[in-house]
Chain A
Amino acid sequence: EIVLTQFPGTLSLSPGERATLSCRASQTVSNNYLVWYQQKPGRAPRLLIYGASSRATGIPDRFSGSGSGTDFTLTISRLEPEDFAVYYCQQYSTSRGTFGQGTKVEIK
């Protein structure tokens, strides 16, 4: 099983600032089969990025994904008020997908 570790656990930033979230895998995620989700309180997760760097339909271009192998990054170029939420990475390179534990982006 691939274990995904996200860091930091919490990121305290102000609107307009840049957010950099990391997701590290315990072994290589083949074909960059990694996605990112956003979850707001009381809501279901929403897909942001698939294939490590492709934005899902309707996702603003301030969200970008990068990385390969075992290290992946989600970047939010300029935080909007609606971006404060919890973000999860998930790999699908093995038959049983696994999630990271999440990074909370909170208002400073």
Chain B
Amino acid sequence: EVQLLESGGGLVQPGGSLRLSCAASGFTFNNYAMSWVRQAPGKGLEWVSTVSGSGYSTIYAGSVKGRFTISRDNSKNILYMQLNSLRVEDTAIYYCAKDPHNGDYPWWFDPWGQGTLVTVS
């Protein structure tokens, strides 16, 4: 069974930084692209970033480009997201999710982790 478990969320001041982690199990991690998707409180879903299976190719939403960095450690089956220069509008639940293929940009997301809450205030 595929399992994704996020951690690292918390309360941070504007301009601060956080690193989110997502521990993956139940599949051959380096064979799949992985993504982060966020959801502001009471709002809809927003794709944030995707990294290819090798980790060499990354892509970002315009709202976070230059501030967030996605990466992965295939030896540990962990996906990361470094969040810098955080803004109040970055407050959201951040979900990691598995892509169905190994590509340079996101397809769909299945499954999703349970999410980790980032609050910027």
Contact = CB atoms under 8 A, between A and B. Distances in A.
Interface of A: 33, 35, 37, 44-47, 50, 56, 88, 90, 92, 95-102
B112 A95 contact: no
Contacts of B59: 95-96
Nearest to B45: A99
Prevailing SS type, chain A contact patch? loop
Given A90-B108, A92-B106, A44 B44 contact: no
Contact of B44 (A95, A96, A101): A101
B30 to A, nearest CB: 21
Given A45-B109, A45-B112, A47-B109, A96 B61 contact: yes
Nearest to B107: A92
Interface string B19-62: 00000000000000000000000001111000000000001011
24 contacts: A33-B107, A44-B111, A44-B112, A44-B114, A45-B95, A45-B112, A46-B110, A47-B108, A47-B110, A50-B108, A90-B45, A90-B108, A92-B105, A92-B106, A95-B59, A96-B59, A96-B62, A96-B105, A96-B106, A97-B47, A97-B105, A97-B106, A99-B45, A99-B46
